[in-house]
A and B are shown apart, each in its own frame.
Chain A
Amino acid sequence: MASRFRHNLLLGLSIFVLMVLVLAPFYWIFSSSIKLPQEIISATPTFVPHSFTTEHYDKLLGESSFPTYMRNSIVVAVGTMAITVVLSTLAAYGLYRLRFPGRITLFRVILITYAFPGVLLLVPMYQMMSKLKLVDSLTALVIVNVTLSAPFAVWMLQAFFRTIPRELEEAAALDGASRLGIIVRIMLPLAAPGVASIAIFAFITSWTEYIFSSILIISEANRTLPVGLAGIIGQYQIDWGLLLAGATATTLPVLILFSLVGRNFVEGLTAGAVK
């Protein structure tokens, strides 16, 4: 019993330390975002706010372009997520099921493209978007983000499809199901955790992408959150309260998405890792 207690204590302590490490920065950002400016920059930091104000949020939502940035980020992230899910699902199934020369090589090439530093694509991507007249459009960001997230999504989904018994597909085929029907009715439901995982992965990739957004987007009206927040900070003077309120508000859509599909995401990661 004592040994078991010690083990549980160790596990509990590990969880506690991890939670502190993970949650403390979020708590600090949120709690500071509701402090008065004087308390935020106080030489003696206060763990529990001594003051309360919503002025930073009022300014963020009322005086800055944050709502525009948020809307743009949501549009780009949802677009990226949708296209990544559809393309990756079909591509992963094709790589898993179809037998053609160079299939394995193609699969490896897709994975290598994921390891390729995205920043090296900056100049050719800008020139390509310029020729397509897509500079300063959210469509350009959707295309870039799909390019960045789809390779890993294909690799991950392919691992899921491998875990599904081939007999299920054969049975469906005997019953007259088409290839697309098999994907939609059999494979997708069984790979739901994997689909949820790549959906969230694509969403977060898009949500946090900075470099391409900063170069490809020119107008204030098309800025996404990471670039918009960098602008709010300013060079010589920093409005710390506004920055902290912006950081807090930026995490909200991600938290909402996780709360909706988080369970599938965890299951997906586990399944992808073990099976």
Chain B
Amino acid sequence: MRSKFVPILVLLLVAAMVLPSLPAQARQDKVEITLWHMEEPTNRVERIQTLIDEFNAAHPEIEVKQEPQNWGEIYTKAPAAIAAGNAPELLFAIPDFTPILKDLGALQPVEDFVAELDAEHPFYPATVEQYTYDDHTWAVPLYNMSQNLWYRKSVLEAAGVEVPTTWDEWLAAAEALTTDAQYGVGLPAAKNLYTDQVMYDLMIGAGASEIYNDDGTLRFNNPETVEAYDMYNQLLQYSPVDSPNWAWGEAEACFANRTCAMVIQFTVITTYDTQAEGDAEDLGVAPIPYKEGVEDPGTIAYANAVMLLTDDPAKKEAAETFISWLLQPENYGRFLNMEPGLFLPVTEDGATADSFWEDPLVVKYQDQVQTMIENSTSGRLFGFTSGNTFPSIASISAQNLLAQTLQLVAIDGQSPADAVAEGQSLMESAIED
């Protein structure tokens, strides 16, 4: 029996001690820049790596490397890494994420660098505004995402329905398109970011895009917001019964398999092209409908950006060199097309760059992408509107309180007015905490 156990234990022990690999040895002769981003799908990582390889080859004195992270953990991981002195030099961000790291004192102001870039590649102002507060700009915008109404032209035509532009038309269309085999519209109602986003789309459409007053107090509880929640609740009756559990993927699948006639998504292009018919002529995209009479309708839009976390002059210069290189039109379009049809330009010359428009999928869905870009120009983000940016919005969005308020209506059966009042109380508590 001894001969059976001892060698196995020794072998396993040796394997345990020998096999785990240690981090690669750092190279001494170059300025090393580490980029953390949350674009984890394989195709995006590959595209970023291709660009990094080109940059590194053209800049022998700099070595950029990427380390993809997950959105689910980055809110914990980044502060832990900063506290332990392991932070990367560059970190991708959305507007909600930046205030958290800024409060840790980890961010470098980048307004001078943004101004330099803007002179060469003019930014769409709204994308920079989302990162500008407390007298500084805290990140460099890199790519935009905005939500749209997606539908099949043939499905609407068969039902005798026009593309809705107002809420009344939208509600009527959802009802007309609902049959035994199809839901008129697919809307989420889970307590997650997707529901936050779609709910905010309707708040914009109701004229309730401002969550804060100018003095920083909350104005969430107002008649326009109540109308938005009421409208959402009415639309939900034409949405699949499992939609209270949805995230983005489920909505996309519902549209791709023709169970949902309309959905609100950033994009459905890749899924529609690979998992559904892929008929570009039949895929429709439109601005999100709004309440008739509202003067400034729009959509939610996220300007994703990159934050600078190092104050080492050599690393800072190297990081800025990389960002400048990335925004050059010949590179920028390829960067955006790491996920064709999802990521939109934040610079004027990026929007016309050949490198953006010559991607095969963008060529095929050119009309849709053009519409997405047009829609994105009216984009805004809760907590980052009208030049009034209040970083405390990070506490509200981290707890998905827009979505939670919707659940008070759609699941708990509260009236929209009561739910919105309770929602404001929840937000005030979140900010105080």
Asked if B313 is at the interface of the complex by the 8 Å CB criterion, the answer is no
B62-121, CB < 8 A from A = 66-73, 76-77, 80-81, 83-86
Asked if A262 is at the interface of the complex by the 8 Å CB criterion, the answer is no
Asked if B45 is at the interface of the complex by the 8 Å CB criterion, the answer is yes
Interface string of B250-278 (1 = CB under 8 A from A): 00110011110000011100110011100
Q: Out of A139, A189, A234, which one reaches B5, CB within 8 Å? A: A189
If A138-B20, A185-B1, A237-B41 touch, whether A214 touches B12 (CB-CB below 8 Å) is no
Instruction: Give chain B nearest CB distance to A38 CB in angstroms.
Output: 6
Asked if A272 is at the interface of the complex by the 8 Å CB criterion, the answer is no
Contact (Cβ within 8 A) A78 B253 = no
Question: B residues within 8 A CB of A170?
Answer: none
A45-75, CB < 8 A from B = 59, 63-65, 75
Considering the complex, give the chain A residue whose CB is closest to the CB of B2: A185
Instruction: Give chain B nearest CB distance to A80 CB in angstroms.
Output: 8
If A37-B275, A127-B84, A185-B1 touch, whether A215 touches B20 (CB-CB below 8 Å) is no
Asked if A135 is at the interface of the complex by the 8 Å CB criterion, the answer is yes
Question: A residues within 8 A CB of B206?
Answer: none
Question: A residues within 8 A CB of B68?
Answer: 220, 231
Q: Interface residues of A: mostly helix, strand, loop or mixed?
A: helix
Interface string of A209-253 (1 = CB under 8 A from B): 000001100111110000100111111111110000000000000
Instruction: Give chain B nearest CB distance to A179 CB in angstroms.
Output: 15
Contact (Cβ within 8 A) A236 B342 = yes
Considering the complex, give the chain A residue whose CB is closest to the CB of B260: A43
Question: A residues within 8 A CB of B256?
Answer: 41
Question: A residues within 8 A CB of B40?
Answer: 230-232, 234
Contact (Cβ within 8 A) A237 B339 = yes
Question: B residues within 8 A CB of A81?
Answer: 12
Contact (Cβ within 8 A) A139 B257 = no
Asked if A86 is at the interface of the complex by the 8 Å CB criterion, the answer is yes
Question: B residues within 8 A CB of A238?
Answer: 248-249, 252-253
Contact (Cβ within 8 A) B12 A82 = yes
If A41-B256, A79-B19, A86-B13 touch, whether A230 touches B67 (CB-CB below 8 Å) is no
Q: Out of B16, B275, B276, which one reaches A83, CB within 8 Å? A: B16
If A184-B6, A188-B5, A214-B73 touch, whether A237 touches B271 (CB-CB below 8 Å) is yes
Contact (Cβ within 8 A) A130 B85 = yes
If A185-B2, A237-B249 touch, whether A219 touches B20 (CB-CB below 8 Å) is no
Contact (Cβ within 8 A) A237 B15 = no
Question: B residues within 8 A CB of A218?
Answer: 36, 67, 69, 81, 86
Contact (Cβ within 8 A) B21 A138 = yes
Question: A residues within 8 A CB of B73?
Answer: 214-215
Considering the complex, give the chain A residue whose CB is closest to the CB of B19: A75
Question: A residues within 8 A CB of B342?
Answer: 236-237
Interface string of B329-363 (1 = CB under 8 A from A): 00000000001001000000000000000000000
If A184-B6, A230-B70 touch, whether A137 touches B23 (CB-CB below 8 Å) is yes
Contact (Cβ within 8 A) B20 A139 = yes
Interface string of B1-25 (1 = CB under 8 A from A): 1101110010011011101111110
Asked if A157 is at the interface of the complex by the 8 Å CB criterion, the answer is no
Instruction: Give chain A nearest CB distance to B340 CB in angstroms.
Output: 11
Asked if A154 is at the interface of the complex by the 8 Å CB criterion, the answer is no
Asked if B213 is at the interface of the complex by the 8 Å CB criterion, the answer is no
Contact (Cβ within 8 A) B41 A43 = no
Asked if B323 is at the interface of the complex by the 8 Å CB criterion, the answer is no
Bound CA span A73–B267, Å: 34
Instruction: Give chain A nearest CB distance to B39 CB in angstroms.
Output: 8
Contact (Cβ within 8 A) B16 A82 = yes
Question: A residues within 8 A CB of B9?
Answer: 82, 85-86
Interface string of A164-178 (1 = CB under 8 A from B): 000000000000000
Contact (Cβ within 8 A) A126 B84 = yes
6 more A-B contacts (CB under 8 A) besides A43-B181, A142-B20?
A: A41-B253, A63-B46, A81-B12, A82-B16, A138-B19, A236-B265
Top-10 shortest CB links A-B: A82-B12, A79-B16, A238-B249, A231-B40, A138-B20, A130-B84, A189-B1, A37-B275, A234-B41, A82-B16
Contact sample, A vs B, 25 pairs, CB 8 Å cutoff: A37-B275, A41-B257, A43-B259, A63-B43, A79-B15, A79-B20, A85-B9, A86-B13, A135-B84, A137-B21, A137-B23, A141-B20, A214-B73, A218-B36, A218-B69, A220-B66, A227-B70, A230-B72, A232-B40, A234-B41, A236-B265, A237-B249, A237-B339, A238-B252, A238-B253
